[in-house]
Each structure stands twice: as C-alpha cells, then as structure tokens.
Amino acid sequence: MEKTPATKKNGTKKLRPRFPKNLLLAFLLSLPLLPSPLPAQEIRKAQPVNSQDDQQAKFLAGIPLPSDSLLLPLQSTASYLRHFQEFGKNWQRFQKDHFNPKRVWASSEITQLAPPAKILYYLFSGPDFITATALFPNAETYILVGLEQIGQVPPPQKLSDQQIADGLTNLRKSTETTLNFSFFITKDMKVDLDKTDFKGILPILYAFIALPGFEILESSQVSIDNRGHLQNGTGGSVAGVKIVFRDPAYMTPRTLFYFRGDLSDSGLAKPSAGLLLWMKSLPAGYAYLKAASYLLHEPSFSTARDFLLDHSTSILQDDSGIPLKYFSREKWSLHFYGSYMRPIELFDKKFQPDLRQAYEKETVRPLAFGTGYNWKPGESNLLLAVKKLPPAPPQTQVSLPPQQPGFNTQPPPAQRATHQAPPSHQPLAPIPGGSSQAGKPLIVSPPPAP
C-alpha cells in the first residue's frame, strides 16, 4: 500500500494510506454494485451532472465518482471503502424490503385510486425523502417539515481523513433505523446529527437523493418570513433548504424543500406562522404521514390537522397520523391496507376502537411491506383517504310554452350553439410565482398583505 503526503494543521506533512488504483478498481468490481432503478439506455438520455453538490451527495452515498472528481482520491482510503461496502449493503436491503415494494404498491394503488397531484406535503417527516420518492415518484415538488436542524455538508477535500471517517460512520448510524425499519427516531437524531462535521439533516438528504440514482442540479438555503413569503437566504423566521434534482432518465427538474418548523398550534400561530401561510398559498396535493408520534391526535395540533384535511386531494398514513374519526365518509373514500391491532407499547393509549372495527368490517387489502412503528410485514397498516369530488350543481329545468303551429323553437343554423364535452382531466394550475425554466428556483409567495 502506497502513502501520499497530506498537510497537518501545524504545517508538517503526514502520510495517508492509499490503495493502489488497480487494487481499488478490483475491490470495487468485487463488491455488489448498487442496483440502478433505470436501464442504462435511459440513464444516458440526460447529460451527466458534475455540480459540487451532486458529487458531495454521491460521495456520502458511497457511489464511485468520475475520474476528474476532486473527491475521487478520498474514495481510496480504507475507511471510505468500509463505508462504501456497509452503506451499500444497507441500501440494497432497504431497496429490496422497502423501496421497490413501495414503488410497486404505489403504482397499483395510489396511481389508480388518487387523483394526480404535483405537490407532496410530508409533515413530521424528518429527512425521510427516500420513502417520499418511493411512494410518490411523480410528484414535482416535495415539501418536508421537521424539527431537525438543517446543518451543512462541508467540502470533504478540506477535512482530514479522521474527520471524514467520523462523519461517514455517523451518517451510517443516523440512517440505520430508516434503512432497516423505515422510520427515524427523533430523539436519537438530535444527538447523532451534531456529532461530526457532517451536521444536521442535509447530509442525509443528499445521500437519500443520490441512492436511487437522482442528480442534484442546485442546492441553496431559503427561508420564509412571517407573512408567508419564500425568499433566498436565511433572513426569514423559518429556515429551510431547497434542492433541485432530476431523474437522469428525464430532463425535467424537480424540487425538494425541507423546513425546520414547529407544527404545534402555538408554533403555527407565531414562530412558524409564515410556513403555514406559504403552504396554504400552494395548490392542494398529496399528503403523507408516517411514524408521526400520534401528534395529530392531540388538540394542540389541530391547526396542522385541519390544514391537511382541507388542503389535500388524498392522504396516505399509518395509524399515527390523523384519527379515523376526522374522515367523514361523505367527503372521503377510505381504503384500508395491512393489519391493525394495537399501537406499540409506547403509544398504547392511542388505540382507536373505530379503526379496529373498520378493519374487521371493511374490505382490507394486503400490504407487502412493513411501515411505521409496527414495522414488521404483516403487522403494519396504511389508510389511503381520497377526497371525493364535490357534487355537480343541479341543472335548472326551464319550462317552454306549448309550441304554436308553424313556430320553430330552434335557432337558425348559424346561431345554434355548439357544445363540447369537458376534458376528462384538467391539470393542476401552475404554482404561482414558479419558473417555467428548467433548473430555476421555485419561489412561491402569497400576494402581499393589504
């Protein structure tokens, strides 16, 4: 094994162990490759992306970088090769047990039963983009909200080998619960995410974008002010990050927002009030709730609950989301999946007798994967609630007087009205203030207050 010099903080040189390039190539080829969800011929439709953010995301995700990357030499250390192998195994297991089954399930259930929408609202999400894109792959904008700090991804080439090794080890630890059981434990993340130079949820979001094969086009800090205006930078009261990315099989960019916000009634009344105003200014869309700590069962979270019920075309959730009693059968079509017995012991008091009765009497469809706190397959539950279209207004009957002989009630041919059948599907209106240019920032703000 050869050694190359690196500069210490005191200006002296230290030696970094390096694997010879031919041995490194042989090692990488000997490991199982991360399976791509897309055929190679489709991946080549778009030009490759070489942005710094995209290369950092691939570096964190354990994906080999191109030969001209500044980060490529850092992928030859023993600690990185360990990360490549262990993180790759975690992703392959998640892909087999969760990602692929959820994609298949969503294509047969959500796509068939729920009207298409451009936006996904995923409250209490943490950095769980990987599940959001598995279940809602056709969304154009993903809005995630949690309490976790956004953090940073410093340039790895400016860190020491030990700083990188510690950061990658902590990344694996922070994502272990999600990649094994498909949910985050918030109290553990508050400790884990601040231990190393890769701080907050941003490193996790980067890795979760890169793992399915997506490419980051742009990443920037954003914030929302008290009046609900989205702006670049950190000047607003609600901090966030905007990541524009794309599927390499297609040229159309998509946008991921993550905001750090308090979703309690008191939080949405003051510190996070702008977040609620901004979301209300957007079109209705999908909503998703998973492992949400049963917070929407509480009176102190009624504002967030009412927003989702009013502003969603469909809601997909486990039993930790909105209680069944809030879904009126007059307004919602309900579809039950999996099995519901009781919550886990920690939330045993959140048992819903009416939900248990629904699972006994309603048609319940199978669920081929585990999700939520009852994460084992066969013990998980999902509810897909689809909002019904409002009834058409009644047609007014107009009584005509009896036709007199020789009197024609039809207009002349030139004046006769023509009627066209309404289209079967009207696309959602474009997001106000959005940009139609690919890769441009999506800045959405409500009209200014009078």
Mean pLDDT on 434-445: 39
Condensed to tens digits (0 to 9), the pLDDT of residues 303-359 reads 999 999 999 999 999 999 999 999 999 999 999 999 999 999 999 999 999 999 999
How far is the CA of 309 from the CAs of 254, 271, 286, 316, in angstroms?
A: 25, 22, 11, 12
Condensed to tens digits (0 to 9), the pLDDT of residues 168-193 reads 999 999 898 888 766 555 555 555 67
- Structural domain total, the chain: 1
- Report whether 168 contacts 159 (CB < 8 A): no
Domain coverage including residue 338: 51-387
In a domain, 411, yes or no: no
In a domain, 441, yes or no: no
In a domain, 444, yes or no: no
In a domain, 179, yes or no: yes
Query: Is residue 396 scored above 50 in pLDDT?
Result: yes
Task: Give the integer Cα–Cα distance in Å for 381 and 90.
Answer: 24
Left, alpha or beta for 52 (phi > 0: left; psi -120 to 50: alpha)?
A: alpha
- Identify the pLDDT of residue 185: 55
- Crossing angle of helices 21-30 and 78-94, in 10° steps, is 20
In a domain, 309, yes or no: yes
Sign of CA dihedral 36, 40, 44, 45: negative
In a domain, 404, yes or no: no
Condensed to tens digits (0 to 9), the pLDDT of residues 92-105 reads 999 999 999 999 99
Task: Give the integer Cα–Cα distance in Å for 181 and 371.
Answer: 7
DSSP labels, 370-397 = --SSS-STTT-EEEEEEEPPPPPPPPPP
In a domain, 445, yes or no: no
- Report whether 122 contacts 132 (CB < 8 A): yes
Query: Is residue 150 scored above 60 in pLDDT?
Result: yes
- Identify the pLDDT of residue 116: 97
- Identify the pLDDT of residue 447: 42
In a domain, 410, yes or no: no
Mean pLDDT on 197-208: 95
Could you give phi then psi for residue 47, rounded to 5 degrees?
A: -70, 145
